[in-house]
Amino acid sequence: MIIDVHGHVSLPPEVLAYKAQLSASLGNPDVGPPQISDERLREFNRKHIGLLDGVGTDVQLISPRPFHAWHAQRPHSVVVDWTRHVNDIIARTCALFPDRYIGMGGLPQATGEPLDTALAELTRCVQEYGFVGFLLNPDPSEGGTPVPPGLGDRYWYPLYEKLCELDLPVLVHSASCSAPRESYTLHFINEESIAIVSLLESSVFTDFPELKMVIGHGGGAIPFQIARFESWRVKNKNPERFQESMRRLWYDTCVYNAEGLDLLFKIVGPDRCAFGTELPGTGTEVDPVSGRVFDDLKPVIEQQIPWLTDDDRAAVFEHNPRRIFNLKM
């Protein structure tokens, strides 16, 4: 079975129209979410399901599209309303395609706000919808200002406590869309690099040894640049090798070529990777060289990294996703 842990829900335009309405009437309580029929949602998802069929993905975990997370919006109540609505749509979409989609929730985060609203929404989504994990945005600010606390900061501890209590993982995935010199697609990579270093140079995994975090996009820059952090470990007389520390985390395979995936598997081990493509997303364009979409990673993992064993591939495609997200199907 092929399980893609990194997918984002396809939102029909009515949902984005609601976002635009919320945006135009910030905090105005007479703007309610749109009525969308099951038929409409089912029809709208045909394209997405067709893409999964086209690349041989059996099941995809779908979470809010980070690009639309809107975390820095004020007042914060708007973020709460918007996140709740998107989570509702995810739950309904999963219910319509129970064999193809599994729900992962978004959290109404905001730099400078306590995590209360995030924890409340997390609890609601687990109780009402049985979501198997959540996105965690390490940078819920507008263009990096105010600077959010790194994921190693105790600010996040109430969330980590709750995640451990419920045995729930997060997919660390930046969502900030307003970094003036960076496209959001590059900003994601930089934020994921910051997240890894912040986590692994903190006491988070001493305090929460059972915490399960998947780093999006194959860990940003860190698998490629690992040795400079290894050297800092020696300099700081930290006896644990950085490479060992990296294995406290999980990584998706959302790196769109064989060279990158080969490096990722070599550095962190295929036993710490879970198949993830973000299809449809940044990689959903046809590579003129291969003739396939960039995010069609199954044949890359199956054919272009010859040192992987069948067991390695089965772990990446199925067993690691099942283990991380406690999947029951």
Is 47 a binding residue for a second copy by CB under 8 A? The answer is: no
- Please identify, using beta-carbon distances, which residue of 25 and 303 lies nearer to a second copy: 303
Is 226 a binding residue for a second copy by CB under 8 A? The answer is: yes
- Please identify, using beta-carbon distances, which residue of 113 and 287 lies nearer to a second copy: 287
Is 242 a binding residue for a second copy by CB under 8 A? The answer is: no
Q: What angle do CA 187, 191, 196 make, to 5 degrees?
A: 150
Residues in region 56-75 near a second copy by CB under 8 A: none
Which H helix or E strand runs over 120?
Answer: helix 116-129
- Joined tokens for residue 273: 């990777």
Among 66, 106, 133, 150, binds a second copy (CB under 8 A): 150
Tell me if 98 sits within 8 A of 328, measured CB to CB: no
State the nearest-atom distance from the C-beta of 158 to a second copy, in Å: 19
The reply to whether 165 belongs to the active site is no
Listed ranges 21-29, 82-90, 126-134, 252-260: which one lies at the site for a second copy (CB under 8 A): 252-260
Listed ranges 24-32, 127-135, 159-167, 212-220: which one lies at the site for a second copy (CB under 8 A): 212-220
- Joined tokens for residue 181: 């010199």
| Secondary-structure breakdown of the chain: helix, strand, coil percentages, each rounded to the nearest 5 | 50, 10, 40
Q: Which one, of 265, 258, 245, lies nearest residue 204 by Cα?
A: 245
Half-sphere exposure of 303 (CA within 13 A, CB side): 6
Residues contacting 148, CB < 8 A, separation 6+: 111, 138, 139, 140, 141
Q: Which long-range contacts (CB under 8 A, 24 or more apart) does 112-120 make?
A: 112/146, 113/76, 115/155, 115/156, 115/158, 115/159, 117/76, 117/79, 117/80, 118/159, 119/158, 119/159, 119/162
Listed ranges 81-89, 129-137, 154-162, 282-290: which one lies at the site for a second copy (CB under 8 A): 282-290
Half-sphere exposure of 129 (CA within 13 A, CB side): 30
Listed ranges 38-46, 52-60, 127-135, 184-192: which one lies at the site for a second copy (CB under 8 A): 184-192
- Please identify, using beta-carbon distances, which residue of 28 and 225 lies nearer to a second copy: 225
Among 24, 206, 209, 228, binds a second copy (CB under 8 A): 228
One-letter amino acid at 163 equals L
State the nearest-atom distance from the C-beta of 13 to a second copy, in Å: 20
Give me the residues that bind a second copy (CB under 8 A), please: 143-145, 147-150, 180-183, 185-186, 189-190, 193-194, 197-198, 201, 217-218, 220-221, 223-232, 234-235, 241, 255-257, 259-260, 262-263, 266-267, 282-288, 294-295
Q: Give the catalytic positions in this structure.
A: 278
